[in-house]
Structure 1
Amino acid sequence: MSNEWLDRWKEGRIGFHRDTTHPALAHYWPTLGVAQAGKVLVPLCGKSLDMRWLAERGHPVLGIELAREAVEQFVAEGRGAVSRFRQNVFDVYRQGSVEVWCGDFFHFHIDQALEVQAFYDRAALIALPPATRQRYAFHLTQLLPPGARGLLVSLTHGGGPAQGPPYSVEAGEVERLFAANFELERLTETPPDERGWREQVWSLGRRGPGR
């Protein structure tokens, strides 16, 4: 997956990138009750404008992205000075209240996520092949403290398991991956678009010990 993802950014094959804020974020984020100053983790963030939407509402944002092209484009297309520094194996780009850590999400450790109170996954889970999704769900669980809340946008498109990214992730798989550690609610499902793709929006709340 990593090589294909990097190739897509190098070649400009980024049809998955939205030029506007995702409507589900604007609609459902206020219902989560995340504290205004709560830091939001955005895995596999690309150059998503959703990060700026979150920042404009008072949230410090911590995005993680493997493709340097995506990170460079994000800060180039934004406003304000950019500071760059090294944090362990990551190159960190800070612009305003958004930090994007350039590197492998699976190398991001809990001691680097101590202030995270929420998360937003618009295109991380569906960017990963089946064999990696369990690892992703486990790692995300380890990074989030009890009580953390977030939104996850999944996708089904009727293709085979090898067709992607984005990959088709059925509702049953989302439940298998997350229900043991999160309060999980499917908020909505869009009608199929012209390609037959449907998006599902989920609310997740990290369970505490014994729950």
Structure 2
Amino acid sequence: MDNEWLARWREGRIGFHRHEAHPALVRYWPTLSVAPGTKVLVPLCGKSLDMRWLAGEGYPVLGIELADEAIEQFLAEGEGEVSRYRGDGFDISRQGNVELWRGDFFHFHIEAAAELGAFYDRAALIALPEATRQRYAFHLAQLLPPGSQGLLIGLTRAPGDEGGPPFSVDADEIRELFAANFEVVHLEEGEPEPGSGFRESVWSLTRRGPQGG
């Protein structure tokens, strides 16, 4: 899966990239009780402009991305000086209020995540094959303190279309993956996209405390 992802970036096969902030992020993020200044984790972030939108709204962003091409394009297309350093096994670049950590999301550990208080997932869960999605949901829960909130945008494919990535992750699977550690609320079901049959769904997740509280 990692090799496929890196090949897509090397070859410019990034049709999943949006050239503006996702409308569901703009619509629903303000409805969450995320205090300004809270650092937002964005796993498998690519060069998403959603990170710039969050930063512009007053939220520091920590994006994790495996592909050098994605990080360098994000920085080149942005404004402001770039600082680079290394920490916790990652090469880290900072531009404005956005930090980009180059490396494997599953190697990002709680010691490095102490400041996180929210998350945003538009294309991480659906980029992972079924065998890896449970690991992702558990690892995300380990990185976020109780009370942390976030948005997750899922995707289902047209009936009979079993391709991917992006992979089809239906509502039942999202609830099954996250309900043990998060309060899961379905916010919106989109219309099928013309030509692809993809249908997005939008979810809010709140990290539960001990004993599911």
TM-score in terms of structure 1 length: 0.98
User: Given that residues 88 and 112 in structure 2 are in contact (C-alpha distance below 8 angstroms), is that contact kept between their aligned partners in structure 1?
Assistant: no
When structure 1 is superposed on structure 2, of 188-197 and 8-17 the one drifting more is 188-197
Where in structure 2 are the equivalents of 1:1-211 lying within 5 Å? 1-158=1-158, 163-194=163-194, 195-210=196-211, 211=213
Sort the Cα spacing of 1:89 and 1:187 in 2 relative to 1 into closer, same or farther, 3 A. same
Distance 1:22 1:202 in 2: 14
Distance 1:189 1:93 in 2: 35
CA deviation vs aligned residue, 1:91-118 (integer Å, no higher than 9, x gap)? 1010001000000000000011101000
User: Given that residues 18 and 48 in structure 1 are in contact (C-alpha distance below 8 angstroms), is that contact kept between their aligned partners in structure 2?
Assistant: yes
Distance 1:102 1:180 in 2: 29
Q: Per-residue deviation at 1:44?
A: 0.2
Sort the Cα spacing of 1:109 and 1:85 in 2 relative to 1 into closer, same or farther, 3 A. same
Q: Per-residue deviation at 1:159?
A: 6.1
Number of aligned residue pairs: give it: 211
Aligned letter for 1:138?
F
TM-score in terms of structure 2 length: 0.97
User: Given that residues 161 and 167 in structure 1 are in contact (C-alpha distance below 8 angstroms), is that contact kept between their aligned partners in structure 2?
Assistant: no
Q: Per-residue deviation at 1:161?
A: 8.2
Q: Per-residue deviation at 1:33?
A: 1.2
Distance 1:159 1:2 in 2: 27
Distance 1:105 1:30 in 2: 26
CA deviation vs aligned residue, 1:160-210 (integer Å, no higher than 9, x gap)? 685111000010000000011111001001111112110000000000012
User: Given that residues 120 and 151 in structure 1 are in contact (C-alpha distance below 8 angstroms), is that contact kept between their aligned partners in structure 2?
Assistant: yes
Query: Which runs of 5 or more residues in structure 1 are unaligned?
Result: none
Which segments of structure 1 move beyond 4 Å, counting only runs of 4 or more? 159-162
Q: Per-residue deviation at 1:156?
A: 0.2
